[in-house]
Amino acid sequence: MNYEMTLGLEVHTELSTNTKIFCNCTTEFGGDPNTHVCEVCSGMPGTLPLLNRSVVDYAIKTGLATNCSITQYNKFDRKNYFYPDLPKAYQISQLYLPICQTGYVEINSADGSTKKVRIKEIHMEEDAGKLIHDPWEDCTLVDYNRCGVPLLEIVSEPDLCSAEEAIEYLEKLKAILEYTGVSDCKMQEGSLRADINLSVRPVGQAELGVRTEMKNMNSFKAISRAIESESKRQIELLEEGKRVVQETRRWDDNKGMSYAMRSKEDAHDYKYFPEPDLPPIEISDAHIEDIRGTLPELPEQKKQRYMNELGLPEYDTGILTNSVHLVALFEKTAEICGNPKDAANWIMVELMKLLNDSGTLPENISFDDSSLGKIIVMLAKGKITRDTAKKVFAKVFAENIDPEQYVKDNNLAVMTDNTAIKSTIEQVLADNQKSVDEYKGGKAQALQYLIGQSMRALRGQAPAQEVTKILKEILG
């Protein structure tokens, strides 16, 4: 029997506002435990939350960028449960009136057509603290630094059908979030995480299967592996005539398997009710338009423009526009060297190789963004050879050297002084009398040998045609 998979994703992204959602503590990542905490975000008795204006604006911006309608009158609700990382024993979230609804993100389907992955809603909520398991003592330590950091939860409809589609959706969503500047999307720091809701059913069956949930996944590779593994596990269960249990599972990426989490009692009764401490939010048409005016060119638009105006191929533009960091580098480089095709090529080939070989992410590129452009200009002007250009770029990537200075300091420029070239060649000829005689005696390969020797002596700093020309002149 053939089975098909139905997937929905709930993506949590930490917003890059300066302060937390309900107080003025910093949202800076890291820091000594409990040093970014105040009486409000640690849930001291008598304290009250106060909404961060920027969080609302970032939420609206995200909604507009994902084609959502903005819920102009929206409010907060309390989600009540007990866990040490939740100091008030409730999370302030939005259940009844989320700020954005019914949007979509377009991805490419397996057959090449585009597919709209519908977004059910986007809502604002607060992040919880961190639990640190003490390795020496049988206890857990609680750090509230992250408590109150603003989150947007982006909930998709179950429109995804495979791990590939899920990853593409996530990449597209991540790009949109980075472009709008609402989040830095640093998955390794936890500012972008996804919960996976997955079920399988026999092909042709209308009713959806029982779904399971895997929470807080924070790497694309792990997500992909988890989806493959879970769908396989569910299919196996069904083939054995067993039933899939609706549960939350934990994915262990090291072991490559998931296991059921111990179910919390009353885990599903969150006793939601409207948050009495926060007044509702009313968003005017004018304010929505103001925010719309701040939207940058979004990934899809940019991709089309690169293809149409700059004549770049679709595959390349796809990869390029998926990362706001690559786009920034590309646009700067193209601006400096005046040749977008060249710029794109260097990024797609040389830079990607360097990134992949060193396992670096585009967001961690640490070299000056004008360096690549300068290298391409030097190459175009004939000041350096292509070989040299690649080597210099590798140095720029690794050590952020100034390319022009480096070329100068290491005498890597193509030699333009013919006198110097000529004198070097004359020295080579003097040292290789035998080959000279052979050439003059009619042996053509001797010339190749002499060219090779001359190039070596010139350390590749003279173009081959020039060397050949001068050699022939001298030899007659």
Partner 1 sequence: MSIDFLKMTALELAKKIQCGEIKVRDAVDAVYNSIDNYDSTYNCYISTCKEQAYKKADEVQAKIDSGNIASPLAGVPVSVKDNICTKGITTTCASKILENFKPTYNATVVERMEAADMIIVGKLNMDEFAMGSTTETSHFGATNNPWDINRVPGGSSGGAAASVAASEAVISLGSDTGGSVRQPCSFCGVTGLKPTYGSVSRYGLVAFASSLDPNGPVAKDVADCAALFEIISGKDAKDGTSMEFPKFDFSKVLDGDVKGKKIGIPSDYLGEGISPDVKDAILNAANELQKLGATVEEFPMPIVKYAIPTYYIIACAEACSNLSRYDGVKYGYSSPVAENLKETYIKSRSEGFGMEVKRRIMLGNFVLSSGYYDAYYKKALQAKKLIQASFFEAFEKYDMLLGPVAPTTALKKGESLSDPLKMYLGDIYTVMINIAGLPAVCVPCGFDSNNLPIGLQLIGKPFDETTIMQTALGFQKATDFVKNPELIKGAAK
Partner 2 sequence: MQIGSELVSYLEALGRIELSDDERVKCEKDLQDILSYIDTLNELDTSNVEPLSHSFPVTNVFHEDEVKTSADRELLLSNAPHQKDGCFKVPKTVE
- Should residue 97 be labelled a site residue for partner 2 when binding is judged by CB under 8 A? no
- Should residue 169 be labelled a site residue for partner 1 when binding is judged by CB under 8 A? no
81 vs 272: CA distance, rounded Å? 10
- CB-based burial label for 55 (10 Å; 0-12, 13-18, 19+): buried
Task: Name the strands in the sheet holding 90-93, side by side, starting at the edge strand that comes first in the sequence.
Answer: 90-93, 77-80, 273-274
Under rule CB under 8 A, how many of the chain's residues touch partner 1?
31
**Residue ranges in 226-285 that form contacts with partner 1 under rule CB under 8 A:** 268-269, 271-274, 276-279
- Should residue 141 be labelled a site residue for partner 2 when binding is judged by CB under 8 A? yes
Measured from the CB atom, the residue of 272 and 406 that comes closer to partner 1 is 272
- Should residue 294 be labelled a site residue for partner 2 when binding is judged by CB under 8 A? no
Number of Cβ within a 10 Å radius of residue 445: 10
Measured from the CB atom, the residue of 82 and 361 that comes closer to partner 2 is 82
- Residue 285 token pair: 């048409």
315 vs 306: CA distance, rounded Å? 11
- Should residue 150 be labelled a site residue for partner 1 when binding is judged by CB under 8 A? no
Q: Where are the alpha helices (DSSP H) in 338-444?
A: 340-346, 352-358, 371-380, 386-399, 403-409, 418-431, 433-440
Q: Which of 2, 32, 285, 359 binds partner 2 (CB under 8 A)?
A: 32
Task: Name the strands in the sheet holding 114-126, side by side, starting at the edge strand that comes first in the sequence.
Answer: 69-70, 100-108, 114-126, 150-156, 3-14, 192-202, 212-217, 248-252, 257-260
Measured from the CB atom, the residue of 137 and 417 that comes closer to partner 2 is 137
Amino acid in the structure at residue 99:
I
- Should residue 18 be labelled a site residue for partner 2 when binding is judged by CB under 8 A? yes
Report, in Å, the least distance between residue 174 CB and partner 2. 23
The site partner of 290 among partner 1, partner 2, none (C-beta below 5 to 8 Å per kind) is none
- Should residue 285 be labelled a site residue for partner 2 when binding is judged by CB under 8 A? no
218 vs 110: CA distance, rounded Å? 24
279-318 footprint of partner 1 as x/- string (CB under 8 A)? x---------------------------------------
89 vs 43: CA distance, rounded Å? 9
Measured from the CB atom, the residue of 36 and 201 that comes closer to partner 2 is 36
- Residue 216 token pair: 């807080």
Report, in Å, the least distance between residue 258 CB and partner 1. 24
Q: Which of 243, 271, 434, 456 binds partner 2 (CB under 8 A)?
A: 271
129 vs 432: CA distance, rounded Å? 75
41-80 footprint of partner 2 as x/- string (CB under 8 A)? -x-------xxxxx-x------------------x-----
Amino acid in the structure at residue 75:
K
- Tally the residues of the chain: 476
**Residue 348 DSSP one-character state:** I
Report, in Å, the least distance between residue 92 CB and partner 1. 11
Under rule CB under 8 A, how many of the chain's residues touch partner 2?
52
Q: Which of 161, 237, 257, 261 binds partner 2 (CB under 8 A)?
A: 261
- CB-based burial label for 21 (10 Å; 0-12, 13-18, 19+): buried
**Residue ranges in 25-54 that form contacts with partner 1 under rule CB under 8 A:** 39, 42-51
Residues that bind partner 2 (CB under 8 A): 17-19, 23-26, 32-39, 42, 50-54, 56, 75, 82-84, 131-134, 137-144, 250, 261-262, 265-266, 269, 271, 274, 276, 278-282
Residues that bind partner 1 (CB under 8 A): 39, 42-51, 78, 80, 82, 84, 87-90, 140, 142, 268-269, 271-274, 276-279
